[in-house]
Amino acid sequence: MNSQLQPVPWKLHLAVLAAALAFPFVFPSNFAVNFGVLALFYAFIGQSWNMAGGFAGQLSFGHVAFFGAGAYASTILQLRFGMSPWAGLPAAALAGALVGGVIAVLSFRAGLRGSYFALITLAFAEVLRIIANSTDLTGGGLGMLIPMKAGAANFQFAERSGFYYLILLLTLLSVALAEWLRRSRFGARLAAIRENEESAMALGINVFAEKVRVMLLSGALCGVGGCFFAQYFLYIDPTIVFGVDKSVEMLLVSIIGGAGTVYGPLIGAVLLALASEGTRAITQVQGLSLVLYGALLVLIIAYLPNGLIDLFKRRPQPRKETR
């Protein structure tokens, strides 16, 4: 709950939305649309991380576990069981939620918090990666290739802009969810848990249950992101969808933009997409964008710990307590 942020005027909302809708028409090149998809994709999965990590304060280094669960769930159902690719979306949400729930129950029952929680999520994600790398169901280390069959029914849009509008829709959904979180009792309780678990308990909040709930939600969303990723790139393997990189990206996007805020992940995502596409345009050298991002993370934590969104913070009236 960050009521110190300037309320975003609805005109700005409308303008940004209109711009987003018009984007593929104004910039129809493959490069531009891809950029748009990437930015929105990062915003979406960043927002999913933000719910658990930002709003509830449960820093996770292994969110990719839900991502990969979703990616594999939808892909396996499609390729091994012949189900419609669109069924993959709810399946991915379910898979992500399931993994989220299991990790949450185990970790929170054991009382893990802060850095220990962050590390154990890392380990869980690693376990899933190794399993995916070693079983036939998932194609092992070779990964899974989704045969190209263009057409909306196959969840493969002939026009890239199809994907763009889908991920835009998903991102809008995630923003709506985040906004709901900010204004709801659930969100208030998560904020309390984030700030001080003991006091939260003293006020009647079932800390364990709420933490599990937010992980279910976060996991489900992240899983959906995995399904989208699989359909967009048509290839997944354990390193890509269970590897540390995605966890880091989700985390970076939220923290740099502003963890625990509705628009923080969006800001962070646009920045990351700009950094990665921008640096790729300049140089072939791999890794430059993350160098910038890593440096940015350190600087943000040091000087602007609430994220870049702090730059938009309303200056609080210098009101001292008058007593």
Partner 1 sequence: MLRISGLSKIFGGLRAVDNASLQVDAGRIVALIGPNGAGKTTLFAAIAGFLPVDGGSVELLGENITGLPAHQIARRGMVRTFQITQPFAKLTVHENIAVGAYQRFAQREAAWEHARAIARQVGMERMLEQPSADLTVAGRKRLELARALATSPRLLLLDEVMAGLNPSEILEIIAIIRAIRDSGVTVLLIEHVMHAVMSLSDHIYVLSYGKIIAEGDPQQVVSNPAVIEAYLGRGAAGQAREAGAQHA
Partner 2 sequence: MDPTILAAAAINGLLLGGMYTLVASGLTLIYGVLHIINFAHGSMLMLAMFGVFYLLTKFGIDPYLSMLVMVPAMYGLGYAIYKGVIGRLSSGRDENILLITLGLSILIENIALMLFKGDSRTISVSYSDTMIELGPTLVPLPKLISFAVAMLLCAALALFIQRTDTGRAIRAVAKERVGARLVGIDVDRIFAISYGIGLATLGAAACLLMPIFYVSPTIGHVFVLVAFTVVVLGGMGSFLGAVVGGMIVGLTESFGGLFLGESLGQIGISLIFILILLLRPSGLFGARR
Q: How far is the CB of 313 from partner 1 (least distance, A)?
A: 11
CA distance 182 to 184: 6
272-291 residues near partner 2, rule: CB under 8 A? 285-288, 290-291
By CB under 8 A, tell whether 151 contacts partner 2. Answer: no
CB-based burial of residue 25 (10 Å sphere; 0-12 exposed, 13-18 middle, 19+ buried)?
exposed
Binding partner 2 (rule: CB under 8 A), the pick from 13, 14, 141, 180 is: 141
Q: Residue 267, SS3? A: helix
Consecutive H or E run containing 235: strand 235-236
Site for partner 2 in 98-137 (CB under 8 A): 106-107, 110, 112, 114-116, 118-120, 122-124, 126-127, 130-131, 133-134
103 binds partner 1 (CB under 8 A): no
d(CA 298, CA 129) in angstroms, rounded, equals 28
| C-beta closer to partner 2: residue 94 or 105 | 105
Residues contacting partner 2: total by CB under 8 A: 42
Instruction: Find the largest Cα–Cα distance for the chain.
Output: 71
Distance CA 258, CA 261 (A): 6
Q: Any contact of residue 119 with partner 1 (CB under 8 A)? A: no
94 binds, among partner 1, partner 2, none (CB under 5 to 8 A by kind): none
- In sequence order, the 6+-apart residues with CB closer than 8 A to the CB of 268 are 42, 43, 46, 252, 253, 254, 255, 256, 257, 258, 307, 308
Give the footprint of partner 2 on this chain (CB under 8 A).
59, 61, 106-107, 110, 112, 114-116, 118-120, 122-124, 126-127, 130-131, 133-134, 140-141, 244, 248, 251-252, 255, 285-288, 290-291, 293-295, 297-298, 301-302, 305
